[in-house]
Amino acid sequence: MKQTAFEKLPRHLAFIMDGNGRWAQKRLLPREAGHKKGVQTVQRVVKYCRELGIPCLTFFAFSTENWKRPKSEIEALFGIFRDYLEQIPADYVKENIRLRVLGEISAFPEDLAAACQRAEAETAGCDGMSLNIALNYGSRAEIARAANLAAAEGPVTEESLSRHLYTAGLPDPDLLIRTSGEMRLSNFLLFQLAYAELWFTQTPWPAFGKRELDEALEAYAARSRRFGGLKG
């Protein structure tokens, strides 16, 4: 990638990681193989974004709607999440990366929920990068939850609502990337993405790499973000 000025890079980059299962099926592999390959892509993307100096990343890993998938696939995903959450935090501490889980993890099996909490606790002191994994996450449910909490304190405002979102304390995403040709938000960060730039690629998540990310970042750098105002 051509060196991009830091101020032209997003502070917060969000990903909807689509196409794992389809990538595997095209190769006559079980869908689980695609999800495992997708974790490797996450690790590559985190490493590259760390090198570029992007301070905040959010990955959509499991939605509240994903419970509709076959039980066998859900159990396979949970196994992948457990392995990731048990193995990765030690590396993240060395790399000064804080891991946060966004979503209602109480619905998960007890050991998986505990793994989420341990990973967050182990990396809580890190401040070099914020890495957020959305698990059992749905934006409408998040907004309803935040609204109830905010209402208990007084009149609901954008600021009070924001304080009770899972992303409290994080900048809103500047750029959302969705892979595998789908062009929708799928109930992901609806409040936070209000002024985000959107970029879609046909490449499935397991095949997503530096070339695709460079293309998205170069497109982002060329855009004019006016936030409802006029270009200065």
DSSP 2: P
Active site residue 66: yes
Residue 230: the pLDDT is 56
Whole-angstrom distance, CA of residue 62 vs CA of residue 59: 9
Q: What pLDDT is recorded for position 224?
A: 75
Residue 85 lies in a domain: yes
Measure Cα distances from 180 to 131, 151, 159 in Å. Answer: 22, 39, 34
With vertex at residue 74, the alpha carbon angle to CA 175 and CA 86, rounded to the nearest 5 degrees, is: 75
Give the Å distances, CA to CA, from 197 to 71, 112, 168, 222, 225.
35, 33, 20, 11, 8
- Domain assignment of residue 171, yes or no: yes
CATH number, residue 124 = 3.40.1180.10
32 belongs to a structural domain:
yes
Residue 19 lies in a domain: yes
Query: Is 96 assigned a catalytic role?
Result: no
pLDDT number for residue 5: 45
pLDDT at 2: 46
Q: Give the active site residue among 20, 66, 111, 187.
A: 66
Q: What's the CA gap between 5 and 7, in Å, rounded?
A: 5
**Boundaries of domain holding 117:** 11-222
Asked if residue 2 belongs to a domain, the reply is no
Q: Is 5 inside a domain boundary?
A: no
Report how many domains make up the chain: 1
55 is a domain residue: yes
pLDDT along the chain (232 residues), means of 10: 60 97 95 96 97 97 96 96 94 97 97 97 97 98 98 97 97 98 97 97 97 95 72 55
CB 18 within 8 A of CB 205: yes
| 98 in any annotated domain | yes
| DSSP character at residue 185 | -
pLDDT tens-digit series, residues 50-90 = 999 999 999 999 999 999 999 999 999 999 999 999 999 99
Q: What is the pLDDT of residue 227?
A: 60
- Report the pLDDT value the prediction gives residue 1, as an integer from 0 to 100: 46
Maximal C-alpha separation, the chain: 55
* Of 18, 132, 136, 174, catalytic: 18
Nearest to 101 by CA among 143, 68, 58: 58
Residue 27, C-beta contacts closer than 8 angstroms, at least 6 positions apart: 33
